[in-house]
Structure 1
C-alpha cells in the first residue's frame, strides 16, 4: 500500500530549502547483487543516508535530537522500483519532508540516474520511496511529539524560510 502523499519530485521546487535535501553518488561494486544491479536494500540505505545528511545539515542530527528528547523511528517504508541502477551510474537521491502531523512525519524520496546521455535536469527515474516516521522518546521508546524547535528547524513553521 502506497502512502497517499505527493512524491518528492512534485514538491521539490515548492518547498522551503529546510524541507529538502539531495545527494549524488556513483554506483560501486559494493552496491551490486548477484544480478549485477543495485540490490533492493541499497535503495533504502541511500534514502536513510540522505535523510540523516539532511538532519545533520540543519543541525538536527541524532545526538541533538536525543538531547532535545525526541527521535524519529521508521514505521513504514514503501518503495517503487522503476529501473535498475548499474555499476558506474551517477545517481541523485532527493528527499523532501512532505508531512508533519502530531507524532508522525513523512519523507518522500526520488532516486534518479544522471548519466551523460540522460535528460540533463530530471535524469531517469529509478525508484521512489516514502517513509512514515514516528517521533519517540529516546529513553522510554514511547511515542512523543517532536519539540517545536525541531519542527521549525525542519521547515514546518514561520522560521522555515530562513533555514537553508
Structure 2
C-alpha cells in the first residue's frame, strides 16, 4: 500500500531548504540491466545517495547521528516507475523530508530525466517514498530522534514558528 504522502516535487517550493536536497547524475554503463535501461535497484541506490548527501550537508551523517544516539533505518520503500532511464541520460534526483514524528520519518523522492530538449521540469522517471524508523544504534530498538536532529532537518518548533 502506498504511503499517503505527496511526492517530493509537490511540496518542493514550500519546504524549508533544510528539508530538501537534490543531485543530478549521468546514467553510466554500469547502471544498465540486460534490457539496456537503468536497473530498478539503481533507482533505489540513487534515492539512498541523495538522502545521505542531504544528511551530510546538514552535518547529520551516520557518525554524527550515532553520537547523538539515534540512527534511521529503512522500514519500507515504495517505488513507482514511469519511464526507463537510458545510457547517457541526465537524471535529477530530489528528496524531501515530508513527515517526522516520534520514531518515524518519511522521505519522498522524485526522479526526472533532465536532458537538453526535455520539457521544463524534466520527464518523470520514477517516484519513491521511504519510511524510516529511528533506532538506538547499540540496541537496535526504536527511539525518538533527538531534538537536535529534528531542528537540523527543519522540524523543530522554533524553525516552524510554533
Structure 2-normalised TM-score? 0.97
1:17 aligns to 2:21 (yes or no)? no
For residues 108 and 62 of structure 1, the distance between their equivalents in structure 2, rounded to whole angstroms, comes to 20
Asked if the contact 1:18–1:160 (Cα under 8 Å) also holds between the matched residues in 2, the reply is no
Instruction: State the partner residue of 1:138.
Output: 137
The alpha carbon displacement at 1:160 in A equals 3.6
Gaps of 5+ in 2: none
Distance 2:19 2:88 in 1: 29
Contact kept? 1:38, 1:85, Cα under 8 Å: yes
Deviations 1:23-47 (A, max 9, x none): 0010000100000000000000000
Q: CA deviation at 1:157?
A: 1.6
Q: CA deviation at 1:108?
A: 0.1
C-alpha distance in 2 between matches for 1:109 and 1:7: 6
Count of aligned positions:
160
CA contact (8 A) 1:16 1:160 kept: no
* Partner in structure 1 of residue 153 of structure 2: 154
CA-atom RMSD, angstroms? 0.9
Residue 100 of structure 1 deviates from its aligned partner by: 0.6
Q: Secondary structure at the match of 2:30?
A: helix
Unaligned runs of 5+ in 1: none
Q: Secondary structure at the match of 2:94?
A: strand
The runs of at least 4 consecutive aligned structure 1 residues that moved more than 4 Å come to none
Q: Distance in 2 between matches of 1:114 and 1:127?
A: 13
